[in-house]
Amino acid sequence: MMRVVRGFYSVAYSVKLCKPNVICAYPITPQTEIVERLAEMYANGELENCEYVTAESEFGAASILVGASAAGARTFTATCSQGLILMSEVLWNAAGMRLPIVLVNTNRSLSAPLSIWNDHQDSMAMRDAGIIQVYVENNQEVHDMIPQAFKIAEDRRVMLPFMVCMDGYKLTHAYEPVDLLSQELVDSFLPPYDPPIKLTTKNPLTFGSYATPDYYMEFRVAMHNAMERARRVMEEVFREWAEVSGRDWGGHITNSQEAETYVIAMGSLVGLVRDVVEELRKDGKSVGLIKLRTFRPFPAKELRKALKDANKVIIFERSLSLGSEPPVTLDVKSAIQKMDVDVYSLVVGLGGRDVPREVVKRNIEDVLDGKTEPGLHFEAKQFEEVIV
Amino acid sequence: MIRITLGAVSKPLESLKIKTGDWGAEYPVIDEEKCIGCGECEIFCPDLCIELVERPESKKEESKKAKKVAKINYNYCKGCGICEVVCPAEAIKMELKEIYKGELK
């Protein structure tokens, strides 16, 4: 059913179809309307066998979901930015307890300075938590990703939290035509959650127990192994989704063009970059797009394959790792080490700074024309730092 | 080959296998003559390893003290010393474990 909806509704409606048992959240811009829509559905009796819990903070919201998920519930929350990093202690625990909580992160920058606008610094700060991260391009992709997220996270080979990252405002607030899924399709694709172990009052258990130095390391290695297994599980689920829904979003990365220079982009920026790349190709430039969908587990093998005949790669970064290179650049460089490819890391659009077509085009052209040196570059204004 | 559980899930009482008694450098010693069996130490012990037990019949006669006496489970005592601080009868003293005694060379 094709409807013109906002990103919020696209997420909420998809979550509803996945029949969650516990939804718990705390409002934060630009996420709030996702859980508002879910609260509305709950109040209207559209969410059967579901508890909607309002928490006192994001820390509380994530904690409630840890309990609910341990008790065998399918759980959902949405958050971003300060809310996500307030959840971080709990989410590291959720990953270690192997609880398949699904959350939507409406990407927003981190304080200070205070900014409510979009970039990828919040989810990147959760990089090492043991949470699967997928970045979506538009509101149809996020709509389609939610049932896949539950299926992947709850797979016995995986059992890890799953974070669907969508750009705040650029997607959440945007009206887009979305083919809303049917209950029948989601039901046939996503079975009810069957927890391998379940906390009940009759069967008390400790999740995430204390591990002495004799054991701790093996638990963490087991999580790493689960992340590695998730690669295959995700590919399976992506393929199955393409079959049942008729929409093929590709694998961990998508790239279809032969080129000497590739441009890597994530999230909502992908659409614009694709458009610019098409235009440059029409002008005879050897440039192609790589859409990075999965960030954790990082698709190193796929990138090596995609870049095997390339000589330059441009990465549009929406995040920083202060004192080092940005997160995606680090992973790309690690993936293609010993390959003869120059890496151009272009940091754009932090704190909601618009990334217009001209900026994307100029940056790509400057690399193609050899005007930009390989390395890290900021699309920022000249500035001087003064005391008040 | 070791076995670990998914999500580090454990069943009740499994933590008893983890003996934390060797963590501390000091350990509490109870002077049973001075102990008045009030149970303050039992309440304050953060590791629940102090328990009030019946004083043996023979000793009850001798000391003419309280019927109960504090007993420490050294398997789980981490040597925090709270019991020494809260004991109103000054019946608990922290002592350095033998292995930590010796001269610095």
CATH code assigned at A337? 3.40.50.920
> What is the least distance, in Å, from the CA of B46 to any CA of chain A?
16
Contacts of A205 in chain B (CB under 8 A): 9-12
Q: Which residue of A has its CA nearest to B7?
A: A97
pLDDT value at B63 more than 60:
no
Residue owning tokens 């929406």: A318
How many Cα atoms are found within 13 Å in the side-chain-facing hemisphere of A358?
A: 1
For residue A208, is it left (φ>0), alpha (ψ between -120 and 50) or beta? left
Q: Which of A196, A204, A212 sits opposite B6 (nearest CB)?
A: A196
Model confidence at B57, pLDDT cuts 50, 70, 90, reads confident
Statement to judge: residues A228 and A97 lie in one domain: yes
Q: How many Cβ contacts (< 8 angstroms) between chains A and B? A: 48
Looking at A245, A276, A308, which one is the last position of a domain? A245
Q: In what order do the strands lie in the sheet with A294-296?
A: A51-54, A22-25, A75-79, A102-107, A162-167, A132-135, A294-296
Statement to judge: residues A83 and A131 lie in one domain: yes
The answer as to whether A385 is a domain residue is: no
Does the beta carbon of A206 lie under 8 angstroms from any beta carbon of chain B?
A: yes
Q: Other CB atoms closer than 10 Å to residue A97's CB: what's the count?
A: 21
Rounded CA-CA distance A299/A120 in Å is 18
A206 with B2: Cβ contact below 8 A: no
Contacts of A99 in chain B (CB under 8 A): 7
Q: Which residue of B has its CA nearest to A160?
A: B7
Which amino acid does the sequence have at A141? E
Rounded CA-CA distance B67/B56 in Å is 9
Does the beta carbon of A201 lie under 8 angstroms from any beta carbon of chain B?
A: no
Contacts of B14 in chain A (CB under 8 A): 206, 209
Domain range for A312:
254-378
Token pair belonging to A43: 């109040």
Statement to judge: residues A317 and A229 lie in one domain: no
> Which stretches of chain B sit within 8 Å of chain A by CB?
2, 4, 6-12, 14-15, 18
- This prediction has a pTM of 0.93
Contacts of A206 in chain B (CB under 8 A): 9-12, 14-15
B44-56 average pLDDT score: 94
Does the beta carbon of A208 lie under 8 angstroms from any beta carbon of chain B?
A: yes
Q: Which helix (H) or strand (E) holds B30?
A: strand B26-30
B2 with A96: Cβ contact below 8 A: no
The answer as to whether A387 is a domain residue is: no
Model confidence at B40, pLDDT cuts 50, 70, 90, reads very high
Statement to judge: residues A21 and A95 lie in one domain: yes
Closest CA to A179 of A105, A245, A134: A245
Strands (E) across A141-276 are located at: 162-167, 175-179, 253-254, 261-265
Statement to judge: residues A265 and A241 lie in one domain: no
Which amino acid does the sequence have at A278? E
CATH of domain B32-97: 3.30.70.3270
Q: Which residue of A has its CA nearest to B9?
A: A207
Q: Which of A205, A212, A222 sits opposite B10 (nearest CB)?
A: A205
Statement to judge: residues A196 and A152 lie in one domain: yes
Statement to judge: residues A7 and A37 lie in one domain: yes
* Structural contact between residues A156 and A25, judged by C-beta atoms closer than 8 angstroms: no
Predicted confidence at residue A256, as pLDDT, reads 85
SS3 A224: helix
B8 with A207: Cβ contact below 8 A: yes
Beta strand pairing status for B50-54 and B68-72?
A: antiparallel
Number of domains in chain A: 2
Model confidence at B56, pLDDT cuts 50, 70, 90, reads confident
What is the ipTM metric for this complex? Answer: 0.88
Statement to judge: residues A47 and A153 lie in one domain: yes
Predicted confidence at residue A293, as pLDDT, reads 98
Statement to judge: residues A68 and A183 lie in one domain: yes
Token pair belonging to A114: 């205070």
Does the beta carbon of A97 lie under 8 angstroms from any beta carbon of chain B?
A: yes
Under-50 pLDDT residues of chain A: none
Model confidence at B101, pLDDT cuts 50, 70, 90, reads confident
Looking at A192, A220, A245, which one is the last position of a domain? A245
Statement to judge: residues A54 and A7 lie in one domain: yes
Q: Which of A96, A159, A204 sits opposite B8 (nearest CB)?
A: A96
Q: Which of A97, A210, A222 sits opposite B15 (nearest CB)?
A: A210
B9 with A197: Cβ contact below 8 A: yes
> Residue A132: what are its φ and ψ, rounded to 5°?
-70, 135
Statement to judge: residues A223 and A109 lie in one domain: yes
Model confidence at B66, pLDDT cuts 50, 70, 90, reads confident
> Residue A308: what are its φ and ψ, rounded to 5°?
-65, -30
Predicted confidence at residue B59, as pLDDT, reads 63
B4 with A218: Cβ contact below 8 A: yes
> Residue A52: what are its φ and ψ, rounded to 5°?
-110, 115
> What is the least distance, in Å, from the CA of B48 to any CA of chain A?
17
Predicted confidence at residue A229, as pLDDT, reads 98
B/e letters for B1-19, b = 16+ CB within 10 Å, e = fewer, are eeeebebbbbeeeeeeebe
Statement to judge: residues A167 and A200 lie in one domain: yes
Contacts of A67 in chain B (CB under 8 A): none
